[in-house]
A = this chain, B = another copy of it.
Amino acid sequence: MSVDGPSEKPVHGPDHPQSVGHVQPRKAVFFESGPPLKLEAGGCLAPVEIEFETYGHLNPERDNAIFICHALTGDAHAAGWDSNPLGPLRSYRKNKPGWWDEVIGPGKPIDTRHFFVICANVIGSCYGSTGPLSINPETGQPYGLSFPVVTVGDWARLHMMLLDHLGIDSLYAVVGGSVGGQQALEIALGWPERVRRLIILSAGYRITAQGLGFNSVARHAIVNDPNFNGGHYYSGQPPLMGLAAARMLAHITYLSEESMGHKFGRRLQDKSQPDFTLTGVEFEVESYLKHQGESFVQRYDPNSYLYITRAMDYYDASLRTDGDLTRAAALLQAKTMVVSFSSDWLFPPELCRELVSAMCRAGRAVTYVDIPSRYGHDAFLVETETVSRLIDSFLRH
C-alpha cells in the first residue's frame, strides 16, 4: 500500500505519550516435533515459525485481546518503533513507526491502555514467519519454490494457534484491511465462538476476476525475470525487475483514476517540455511508480510475492459452504462492521456489499459504511480520521 495521504500525518516518536514506544518482534514456533502442519492445499510444513508483536497488556480476565491482520505485503510491526530491525529486508523499518501506528496506541482508536493488541505475520511472507526465504531444515537451503502453497485458511489457523499459545480463548475483536480483512473474516468464520467483533476494511469475501488477472500478470513478470532461476536466486541476483513491475502494477490498483489524476495528472517530471525518451522517465506518474517499484524490491522477497498473491487468489469465503455465501454468513457470531471506500476498484463497494447482504439475509448483526473517498483501495490507510472514528465507535459499543 502506498501511504500518500490527503495531508501530512502526525508521526508520534517512541517517547510520545500516544506511542506504544519501542517494540521488538517475538517468535512462536509450532510443529517442532510430531507430525508436520498439514496445509489446506495439501502440502506439509514443519517447523512453523510465527513472528508477532504485542502492545498493551492482557487483562486478568484475558478477554481484551484484539488481533490485527496485516495486508498483502505487510508485517507484524503494526505500531511503535523497531529501532534495531534484524534481517536484510527490514531496514525500511528504521526511523519509521509501524504500519498502523496512527490507529494503535495509548488514547488511539485501538487503545492500548484498554486492549491487548496482537499482530502476527503470515506464513509465506518474508517478515519472520516461515516462508520461501526460510531455511528448509531438510536441505539447509532456503525453501524457494519448494515451499508449499499456503492459503488464507492456513494463516488463520496458525494465528489461532498463536492465540492458544498466548492463553487467549476469546478475542474482543479481529480487524483487518484488504487481504487482512479476508483473513479477519476467515478467523471469524472458522472460530465463531472465539471472536466477538469483526472489522473488515476494504475487503470482499473473494477477489474479482479482474483481481485474479492483475495477480496473474504480476506473477508472470516475476517468473520471467532473467534472474528468477526457478525461484533459486538466493545466492545470486534476485528477480528485482520483475518484482518491481509487479509492484508498479499493484500500485495502480491501490490508487484510483481520480487520485492519480489529482496527484500526478499528466505533469512532466521536473521539466516543462518532454525529452521524448522512449524508456526513460517523462511523466511524474512514471517516476512515482518507478520509485514505488525500486523501494519495494529493497524490502520484499519475490518468491513471497508469488505465494501471498496466490493465497489471495484462492480465498473465497463462500466455498466453506459450497458457494452459498448466505450459509457462510450464517456461521458468523461476531458483531461485524464492513467498511468500503467509494473509489476502491480492487475491492469495490459492490463486492463488499455482497457480504453485508448475505449477513442481512442470514440475520446476522452487521454495520456497513461506504466512505466517499477518492483514494481508491489505499483509502483504508489514508482516510485515517474517518476510519479511526468508526473503529473507536464500533469497539466501544
**A interface residues (Cβ-Cβ under 8 A, vs B):** 41-43, 145, 149, 206, 208-210, 212-214, 216-217, 219-221, 223-226, 241-242, 244-245, 248-249, 251-252, 255, 257, 260-261, 263-266, 274, 276-279, 282-283, 285-286, 289-290, 293, 306-307, 310, 313-314, 316, 345, 348
A314 vs B265: C-alpha distance when bound (angstroms) = 13
In the complex, the answer to whether B289 meets A217 with C-beta atoms within 8 Å is yes
CB distance from A156 to the nearest CB of B (A): 17
A248 vs B224: C-alpha distance when bound (angstroms) = 14
Name, among A208, A242, A278, the residue most crowded by chain B CB atoms within 10 Å (CB to CB). A278
Pick the contact of A249 from B217, B260, B290, B348 — CB < 8 Å? B217
In the complex, the answer to whether A257 meets B289 with C-beta atoms within 8 Å is no
Query: Interface of chain A, helix or strand or loop or mixed?
Result: helix
CB distance from A363 to the nearest CB of B (A): 27
In the complex, the answer to whether A252 meets B220 with C-beta atoms within 8 Å is no
Task: Give this chain's copy count.
Answer: 2
Given contacts A220-B248, A249-B217, are A274 and B314 in contact (CB under 8 A)?
A: yes
Chain B residues contacting A213 (CB-CB under 8 Å) are: 248, 251-252, 260, 285-286, 289
Pick the contact of A257 from B208, B219, B290 — CB < 8 Å? B208
In the complex, the answer to whether A261 meets B223 with C-beta atoms within 8 Å is no
Q: Nearest 10 CB-CB pairs, A to B?
A: A226-B226, A41-B276, A224-B241, A209-B260, A149-B276, A216-B286, A210-B257, A209-B264, A217-B248, A213-B252
In the complex, the answer to whether A266 meets B41 with C-beta atoms within 8 Å is no
Chain B residues contacting A276 (CB-CB under 8 Å) are: 41-43, 149, 314
In the complex, the answer to whether B206 meets A220 with C-beta atoms within 8 Å is no
Name, among A210, A244, A265, the residue most crowded by chain B CB atoms within 10 Å (CB to CB). A210
Closest residue of chain B to A250 (Cβ to Cβ) is B217
Pick the contact of A285 from B216, B249, B286 — CB < 8 Å? B216
Closest residue of chain B to A228 (Cβ to Cβ) is B226
Chain B residues contacting A226 (CB-CB under 8 Å) are: 224-226
Chain B residues contacting A224 (CB-CB under 8 Å) are: 225-226, 241-242, 244-245
Pick the contact of A279 from B214, B219, B274 — CB < 8 Å? B219
Pick the contact of A212 from B41, B208, B266 — CB < 8 Å? B266
CB distance from A277 to the nearest CB of B (A): 8
Chain B residues contacting A277 (CB-CB under 8 Å) are: 149
A265 vs B255: C-alpha distance when bound (angstroms) = 23
Closest residue of chain B to A226 (Cβ to Cβ) is B226
CB distance from A140 to the nearest CB of B (A): 22
In the complex, the answer to whether B274 meets A245 with C-beta atoms within 8 Å is no
